[in-house]
Amino acid sequence: MDRAEEAREGVARGRVEEAPLVDVALAAASPLRRFYLTSERAILGVASVAAVLLAWEWVAARELVPLVFISSPMRIAKAAVELASSGDLWNDLRVSGIEFFVGYAMSVAVGIPLGIATGWYRRLFYLLDPFISGLYATPRVALLPLIIIWVGIGIWSKIVVVFLGAVFPILINTLAAVRTTDERLLRAARSFGADDLQVFRTIVLPSSVPFILTGLRLGVGRALVGVVVGELYAATAGIGFLITVAGASFQTDKVFVGILIIAAAGMVSMEVLSRLERRFEKWRPRVGAAP
């Protein structure tokens, strides 16, 4: 075992030996109080959503605001059941799901390797930075007519919009993570005789993973926006198409069905990536921690 491996194992043992402190208040609490403390986030979140829905239904029932503007939770639920029963909703979900997953998978497959390469090789960064900055600052809506001309009005035009929306947050976060690796760690690894591959595998990649996951979370939101924006033009199915048609005919309840589906998809995706990010939290550099 070389000295670099010994140093890494020493750091790993130090982290394992850091046992969490026992929460005395939690241990001494009653079962009901303990349940609340361990599930506080979920309880408060559900309570706030329930309060908003009840207030919304109360306002709608008394028609304090015209229903064409806000509809009501009961009307929205009824519209969702009708759409699901007719089969239209499932077809829209299938189309939008394909656009989202294919476009997002393409953005991950391109954004992470290209971000790593651009952050690792200085001259490649100099070559690609003008294009990355320019395309990132360009609104995707402005590119949509060109995309339709290039790839047609089929599903691939929407996939390209999703890809362009998600790839840049992933790429830029990955690039920044590699370029901001702690220089002291790199010098220490070099002093132990580590080559480029060992430095990348044991220092650069572990320190970059939390920031890459942050980029993936940002990319989810941009990808969902891309799905809706792409389906505003020349679409015949999809959640964005559902929202557009319902809005044009003032069917506010169906508009809210589409909006809530997009919001739910975003929340589920964010939660999955947040859980994955927490698994790698120990790899994130500790700001202000003692060496």
Domain containing 178: what range?
71-283
Residue 126 lies inside a defined structural domain of this protein? yes
Mutual angle of helices 252-279 and 239-248, in 10-degree steps: 150
In a domain, 197, yes or no: yes
In a domain? residue 254: yes
Domain count, the chain: 1
Q: What is the pTM of this model?
A: 0.80
Residue 246 lies in a domain: yes
Q: Is residue 240 part of a domain?
A: yes
Residue 148 lies in a domain: yes
In a domain, 20, yes or no: no
CATH label of the domain that carries residue 210: 1.10.3720.10
Q: What is the pLDDT along the chain (291 residues), one digit of tens a residue?
A: 454 444 444 444 444 444 444 455 666 667 777 777 778 888 898 899 999 999 999 999 988 888 889 899 999 999 999 999 988 899 999 999 999 999 999 999 999 999 999 988 889 999 999 999 999 988 888 888 899 889 888 899 999 999 999 999 999 999 998 888 777 877 787 777 777 777 778 888 888 888 898 899 999 999 999 999 888 877 888 999 999 999 988 999 999 999 999 999 999 998 888 888 777 766 555 544 444
Residue 43 belongs to some domain of the structure? no
